Amino acid sequence: MNQPTAMKHRSAWLATVLRVALGGLFVFAAMMKLAELQQFAFAVKAFAILPDHLSHLAAFVVPWIELIAGIGLLLGLWTRPAALVIGAMLAAFIAGIVSVIVRDLDVTCSCFGKFEVPCTGPVGLCHVIRNLVLLALSLGVMWYGPGRMAVDGCCGSVGGLGVDTAPTGP
Amino acid sequence: MLNTLVLYRAGVLVLAGIIAGGAHSALREKPLALQPAEPAPVIVVPVPQHTSVPAGAGAATVTAPKPLGLEISVPQALELFDKGVSFVDARHLPEYEAGHVDGALLLSAESFLGGSVPDALNYLDPQAQVVVYCGGGQCDASKNLVILLQQAGFTRAHIMTDGYPAWVAAGHPIATGKPVGP
């Protein structure tokens, strides 16, 4: 295996790890939110950003988008669109958290239900940093593509499931 | 990395999430609240004037019934009377015959002298509450009797500290005549 091929091989596996890690994390987060949906609704309302009817809608929709996008990443199906969706959500979360910090509100995140790791207590700088790290991961997935063991790569041909799978990483 | 197809598919994913969330909302039996329910209102009732509450309190928060202490007031004794709790008159026979709490047994501390157990105890349940009274004020007969009752296994004996005169003054039920039973 020559050097460029070895690097490409390592990049493919790195892409796989990033994709599965991010997808698994978001599937977990979605399941935790759906399990404690009432608590998540309280948290959405407590952010005091959306009007009541949109807060109500967001409480239902956000976990489902996370779940669908997370499953997409886990399977490597529509990997880049899924990573884009998750990245956009993370950017929105970061903006919301910064807004809460600026307004000095005492709000709990409910991002992972009962498992608030590594950040505990009211939302703060820790949550911003955590979401920035996850945002970087999602950008990494978008950059590297699905990697190995992905539905996107299984059919290979243009027009099939792998239509957006061409590795573009370094 | 980003092209029209990726954007289009991202939109499809978001739309799928919106549809799934909407369906979840429609199918959920219990409506989703946006704010925690208010705690149940605390019941505030006026405190009767005759209870031993500091002056000016006016009202008190009802939490749980406070267990009665050894010494109780006439109103507390009346509550027990209304519940059918036994009353014991610790005074002497002539005082008893002149007037006593309706249904009260006559039992003096002297009847325990010599280590004997008075027959009147057969009328009382050691596990139940008992209210003992005497002439009120400086009288010690009820206290002495309660000590003896406690030694005999009555752990829920109370002393109506203001005694029989306060009971009469409050207009509560009384009776006259000889004691019933032994």
pLDDT in the model for residue B52:
44
Residue B19 to chain A, least CA–CA distance (Å)? 8
Tens of pLDDT, residues A85-107? 999 999 999 999 999 999 888 88
Alpha-carbon span B163 to A154, nearest angstrom? 96
Q: Is residue A32 part of a domain?
A: yes
Contacts of B6 in chain A (CB under 8 A): 80-81, 84, 164
Alpha helices in A1-78 (DSSP H): 3-35, 37-46, 52-75
At A166, the pLDDT band (50, 70, 90 cuts) reads: very low
Least CB-CB distance to A64: which of B10, B21, B34? B21
Alpha-carbon span B106 to B123, nearest angstrom? 11
pLDDT in the model for residue A149:
85
Residue B45 bridge partners (DSSP) = B60
- CB A65 within 8 Å of CB A89: yes
Contact A81 B20 (CB under 8 A): no
Q: Is residue B41 part of a domain?
A: no
Residue A51 to chain B, least CA–CA distance (Å)? 11
- Name the DSSP letter for residue B162: T
pLDDT in the model for residue B118:
76
Q: Is residue A117 part of a domain?
A: yes
Q: Is residue A64 part of a domain?
A: yes
Q: What is the four-CA torsion angle of A103, A105, A111, A114, rounded to 10 degrees?
A: 170
Contact B34 A65 (CB under 8 A): no
Contact B34 A72 (CB under 8 A): no
pLDDT in the model for residue B181:
58
Query: How many angstroms separate the most distant Cα atoms in chain B?
Result: 110
Higher pLDDT, A160 or B59: B59
**Mean model confidence pLDDT for chain B:** 79
Distances in whole angstroms, Cα of residue B149 to Cα of each of A130, B80, B85, B90, B107: 70, 18, 15, 11, 10
Q: Is residue B116 part of a domain?
A: yes
CA B110 to chain centroid:
32
CATH code of B158's domain? 3.40.250.10
Q: Is residue B40 part of a domain?
A: no
For A87, the closest chain B residue by CA position comes to B10
Q: Is residue A61 part of a domain?
A: yes
Q: Is residue A166 part of a domain?
A: no
Contact A44 B34 (CB under 8 A): yes
Helical (H) or strand (E) element with A142: helix A125-144
- Residue B130 structure tokens: 């008992």
Q: Is residue A85 part of a domain?
A: yes
Which structural domain, as residue segments, surrounds residue B91? Answer: 68-175
Least CB-CB distance to B18: which of A37, A61, A164? A61
Tens of pLDDT, residues B63-114? 555 677 888 999 999 999 998 899 999 988 888 999 999 989 888 877 777 6
Q: Is residue B52 part of a domain?
A: no
Contact B20 A72 (CB under 8 A): no
Q: Is residue B29 part of a domain?
A: no
Contacts of A72 in chain B (CB under 8 A): 13
Tens of pLDDT, residues A26-75? 999 999 999 888 888 888 988 889 988 888 889 999 999 999 999 999 99
Which structural domain, as residue segments, surrounds residue A30? Answer: 14-154
Contact A68 B22 (CB under 8 A): no
pTM of the model: 0.55
Contacts of A57 in chain B (CB under 8 A): 21-22, 25
Least CB-CB distance to A65: which of B5, B14, B36? B14
Contact B5 A164 (CB under 8 A): yes
- Residue B16 structure tokens: 């799928």
The tally of domains found in chain B comes to: 1
Does ipTM come in above 0.85?
no
For A77, the closest chain B residue by CA position comes to B9
Residue B26 to chain A, least CA–CA distance (Å)? 10
Q: Is residue B9 part of a domain?
A: no
Q: What percent of chain A has pLDDT over 70?
A: 88
Contact B6 A80 (CB under 8 A): yes
Query: Which mean pLDDT values do the consecutive 10-residue runs of chain B (182 residues) have?
Result: 85 94 86 62 44 46 64 92 91 90 86 72 82 85 85 86 92 87 52
Tally helices (H) and strands (E) across chain A.
6, 0
Tens of pLDDT, residues A103-158? 888 888 888 877 777 887 788 899 999 999 999 999 999 998 888 888 887 765 33
The tally of domains found in chain A comes to: 1
pLDDT in the model for residue B39:
45
Alpha-carbon span A19 to A33, nearest angstrom? 21
Query: How many angstroms separate the most distant Cα atoms in chain A?
Result: 59
